[in-house]
Amino acid sequence: MNQYHWTLEKVKNGLEKFYKENNRYPTATEVNEFPSLPSSRQIERRFGGLVKLRKTLKLSGPWDFTKGAYSSLRAKTINTRAHEKEKVIYGYLIKRFGVPFVHREYFFTDDRRARTDFFIHCQNGNFSVDVFCPKDKHNLINCLNSKMKTYGDKLTLQYPVIFLMLNENIPEGEIADLVANKKNKLRSYQEVMTLNQLKRFCEEKIPFELK
Protein backbone atom coordinates (compact mmCIF):
# COMPACT_ATOMS: atom_id res chain seq x y z
CA MET A 1 0.00 0.00 0.00
CA ASN A 2 1.24 3.48 -0.89
CA GLN A 3 2.31 5.46 2.18
CA TYR A 4 -0.35 8.12 1.46
CA HIS A 5 -3.09 5.50 1.72
CA TRP A 6 -2.10 5.02 5.35
CA THR A 7 -4.26 7.57 7.10
CA LEU A 8 -3.81 8.26 10.79
CA GLU A 9 -7.06 6.44 11.46
CA LYS A 10 -5.94 3.30 9.60
CA VAL A 11 -2.63 3.24 11.45
CA LYS A 12 -4.42 3.75 14.77
CA ASN A 13 -6.72 0.81 13.98
CA GLY A 14 -3.70 -1.34 13.15
CA LEU A 15 -2.00 -0.41 16.42
CA GLU A 16 -5.15 -1.17 18.39
CA LYS A 17 -5.45 -4.54 16.65
CA PHE A 18 -1.88 -5.39 17.65
CA TYR A 19 -2.65 -4.26 21.22
CA LYS A 20 -5.70 -6.53 21.44
CA GLU A 21 -3.60 -9.51 20.30
CA ASN A 22 -0.51 -8.81 22.45
CA ASN A 23 -1.71 -6.60 25.32
CA ARG A 24 0.89 -3.97 24.38
CA TYR A 25 1.88 -1.79 21.43
CA PRO A 26 4.52 -3.01 18.91
CA THR A 27 8.21 -2.27 18.66
CA ALA A 28 9.66 -1.01 15.35
CA THR A 29 10.60 -4.56 14.30
CA GLU A 30 7.10 -5.83 15.11
CA VAL A 31 5.54 -2.96 13.14
CA ASN A 32 7.43 -4.12 10.04
CA GLU A 33 6.15 -7.67 10.46
CA PHE A 34 2.50 -6.85 11.28
CA PRO A 35 0.29 -6.91 8.13
CA SER A 36 -2.22 -4.36 9.46
CA LEU A 37 0.44 -1.66 9.76
CA PRO A 38 2.74 0.20 7.34
CA SER A 39 6.49 -0.23 7.63
CA SER A 40 8.40 1.73 10.27
CA ARG A 41 10.09 3.57 7.38
CA GLN A 42 6.72 4.68 6.03
CA ILE A 43 5.71 5.81 9.53
CA GLU A 44 8.95 7.78 9.74
CA ARG A 45 8.29 9.57 6.44
CA ARG A 46 4.57 10.21 6.92
CA PHE A 47 4.18 10.67 10.69
CA GLY A 48 7.65 11.58 11.95
CA GLY A 49 8.50 8.21 13.45
CA LEU A 50 6.95 5.67 15.79
CA VAL A 51 7.61 7.58 19.01
CA LYS A 52 6.02 10.76 17.64
CA LEU A 53 3.09 8.74 16.27
CA ARG A 54 2.42 7.20 19.69
CA LYS A 55 2.42 10.70 21.22
CA THR A 56 0.13 12.07 18.49
CA LEU A 57 -2.37 9.26 19.07
CA LYS A 58 -1.96 9.65 22.87
CA LEU A 59 -1.41 5.94 23.32
CA SER A 60 -0.97 4.60 26.82
CA GLY A 61 2.15 2.77 27.91
CA PRO A 62 5.78 3.45 26.98
CA TRP A 63 6.40 5.45 23.79
CA ASP A 64 10.04 4.52 23.35
CA PHE A 65 10.80 0.84 23.95
CA THR A 66 14.57 1.45 23.75
CA LYS A 67 14.63 3.47 26.99
CA GLY A 68 13.51 3.40 30.58
CA ALA A 69 11.91 0.67 32.65
CA TYR A 70 10.67 -1.38 29.68
CA SER A 71 14.16 -1.65 28.21
CA SER A 72 15.72 -2.47 31.59
CA LEU A 73 13.11 -5.13 32.33
CA ARG A 74 13.49 -6.69 28.87
CA ALA A 75 17.29 -6.80 29.22
CA LYS A 76 17.02 -8.36 32.67
CA THR A 77 14.55 -10.97 31.43
CA ILE A 78 16.75 -11.88 28.45
CA ASN A 79 19.88 -12.13 30.64
CA THR A 80 18.11 -14.30 33.22
CA ARG A 81 16.75 -16.62 30.53
CA ALA A 82 20.15 -16.89 28.85
CA HIS A 83 21.87 -17.66 32.18
CA GLU A 84 19.41 -20.46 32.95
CA LYS A 85 19.91 -21.98 29.51
CA GLU A 86 23.69 -21.77 29.85
CA LYS A 87 23.44 -23.85 33.03
CA VAL A 88 21.51 -26.52 31.13
CA ILE A 89 24.11 -26.52 28.35
CA TYR A 90 26.98 -26.75 30.86
CA GLY A 91 25.26 -29.70 32.54
CA TYR A 92 24.92 -31.49 29.21
CA LEU A 93 28.55 -30.84 28.21
CA ILE A 94 30.08 -32.09 31.47
CA LYS A 95 27.87 -35.19 31.34
CA ARG A 96 29.09 -35.88 27.82
CA PHE A 97 32.79 -34.96 28.15
CA GLY A 98 33.55 -34.84 31.89
CA VAL A 99 34.23 -31.91 34.22
CA PRO A 100 38.01 -31.66 33.58
CA PHE A 101 37.45 -31.27 29.83
CA VAL A 102 34.79 -28.56 29.79
CA HIS A 103 35.87 -25.00 30.56
CA ARG A 104 33.16 -22.44 31.22
CA GLU A 105 33.97 -18.83 30.26
CA TYR A 106 37.30 -19.80 28.75
CA PHE A 107 39.90 -17.10 28.07
CA PHE A 108 42.27 -17.60 25.15
CA THR A 109 44.78 -15.02 26.45
CA ASP A 110 46.14 -13.93 29.82
CA ASP A 111 44.86 -10.39 29.31
CA ARG A 112 41.31 -11.90 29.27
CA ARG A 113 40.26 -10.00 26.15
CA ALA A 114 39.50 -13.04 23.98
CA ARG A 115 36.98 -15.42 25.52
CA THR A 116 34.33 -17.99 24.69
CA ASP A 117 31.42 -19.32 26.74
CA PHE A 118 32.56 -22.95 26.66
CA PHE A 119 35.75 -24.65 25.50
CA ILE A 120 35.68 -28.44 25.17
CA HIS A 121 38.64 -30.85 24.94
CA CYS A 122 38.01 -34.15 23.17
CA GLN A 123 40.03 -36.78 21.30
CA ASN A 124 38.96 -35.89 17.77
CA GLY A 125 39.28 -32.11 17.90
CA ASN A 126 38.72 -29.42 20.52
CA PHE A 127 36.02 -26.82 19.89
CA SER A 128 34.36 -23.82 21.50
CA VAL A 129 30.72 -22.86 21.98
CA ASP A 130 29.43 -19.29 22.01
CA VAL A 131 25.87 -18.99 23.31
CA PHE A 132 23.39 -16.33 22.21
CA CYS A 133 19.63 -15.83 22.24
CA PRO A 134 18.46 -13.33 19.58
CA LYS A 135 14.97 -11.91 19.95
CA ASP A 136 14.19 -12.40 16.24
CA LYS A 137 15.71 -13.26 12.85
CA HIS A 138 16.93 -9.73 12.21
CA ASN A 139 18.69 -9.67 15.56
CA LEU A 140 20.20 -13.09 14.81
CA ILE A 141 22.12 -11.66 11.83
CA ASN A 142 23.28 -8.66 13.86
CA CYS A 143 24.53 -10.96 16.61
CA LEU A 144 26.44 -13.11 14.12
CA ASN A 145 28.12 -10.09 12.54
CA SER A 146 29.24 -8.94 15.97
CA LYS A 147 30.50 -12.40 16.94
CA MET A 148 32.48 -12.76 13.71
CA LYS A 149 34.45 -9.66 14.72
CA THR A 150 35.02 -11.14 18.19
CA TYR A 151 36.30 -14.38 16.70
CA GLY A 152 38.67 -12.66 14.30
CA ASP A 153 41.74 -12.92 16.53
CA LYS A 154 44.38 -15.48 15.52
CA LEU A 155 44.14 -17.25 18.86
CA THR A 156 40.39 -17.74 18.52
CA LEU A 157 40.84 -19.02 14.97
CA GLN A 158 42.76 -22.10 16.12
CA TYR A 159 39.61 -24.04 16.95
CA PRO A 160 36.17 -24.50 15.41
CA VAL A 161 33.46 -22.42 17.04
CA ILE A 162 29.78 -23.20 17.32
CA PHE A 163 27.45 -20.23 17.62
CA LEU A 164 24.70 -21.81 19.71
CA MET A 165 21.39 -20.08 18.97
CA LEU A 166 18.83 -20.56 21.76
CA ASN A 167 15.70 -18.87 20.41
CA GLU A 168 13.40 -21.88 19.99
CA ASN A 169 10.98 -19.85 17.86
CA ILE A 170 13.43 -19.70 14.94
CA PRO A 171 13.36 -23.08 13.11
CA GLU A 172 16.54 -24.80 11.91
CA GLY A 173 15.51 -24.41 8.27
CA GLU A 174 15.10 -20.65 8.60
CA ILE A 175 18.46 -20.38 10.34
CA ALA A 176 20.12 -22.26 7.48
CA ASP A 177 18.51 -19.94 4.91
CA LEU A 178 19.56 -16.82 6.83
CA VAL A 179 23.15 -18.02 7.10
CA ALA A 180 23.28 -19.07 3.44
CA ASN A 181 22.01 -15.68 2.26
CA LYS A 182 24.19 -13.70 4.62
CA LYS A 183 26.51 -11.29 2.77
CA ASN A 184 29.29 -11.55 5.34
CA LYS A 185 29.80 -15.31 5.18
CA LEU A 186 30.81 -17.43 8.15
CA ARG A 187 34.23 -19.04 7.94
CA SER A 188 34.44 -22.76 7.21
CA TYR A 189 35.05 -23.67 10.87
CA GLN A 190 32.19 -21.50 12.18
CA GLU A 191 28.66 -22.86 12.35
CA VAL A 192 25.31 -21.77 13.79
CA MET A 193 23.47 -24.54 15.65
CA THR A 194 20.39 -25.06 17.77
CA LEU A 195 20.70 -27.06 20.99
CA ASN A 196 19.48 -30.24 19.27
CA GLN A 197 22.05 -29.79 16.51
CA LEU A 198 24.79 -29.26 19.11
CA LYS A 199 23.84 -32.53 20.81
CA ARG A 200 24.03 -34.40 17.49
CA PHE A 201 27.42 -32.79 16.86
CA CYS A 202 28.70 -33.80 20.31
CA GLU A 203 27.62 -37.41 19.77
CA GLU A 204 30.25 -37.60 17.02
CA LYS A 205 32.98 -36.29 19.34
CA ILE A 206 35.08 -38.77 21.31
CA PRO A 207 35.51 -37.87 25.02
CA PHE A 208 38.77 -38.44 26.86
CA GLU A 209 38.59 -41.21 29.43
CA LEU A 210 38.61 -40.09 33.05
CA LYS A 211 41.48 -41.63 35.02
DSSP string, 96-128: HH-GGGEEEEEESSTTS-SEEEEEE--TT--EE
pLDDT at 66: 52
**DSSP bridge partners of 104:** 118
pLDDT at 67: 53
pLDDT mean across residues, the chain: 82
Percentage of the chain beyond pLDDT 70 is: 82
pLDDT of residue 35 exceeding 70, the answer is: yes
pLDDT of residue 210 exceeding 70, the answer is: yes
Angle between helices 40-47 and 8-22 (to 10 degrees): 140
Lowest-confidence region among 92-101, 109-118, 170-179: 109-118
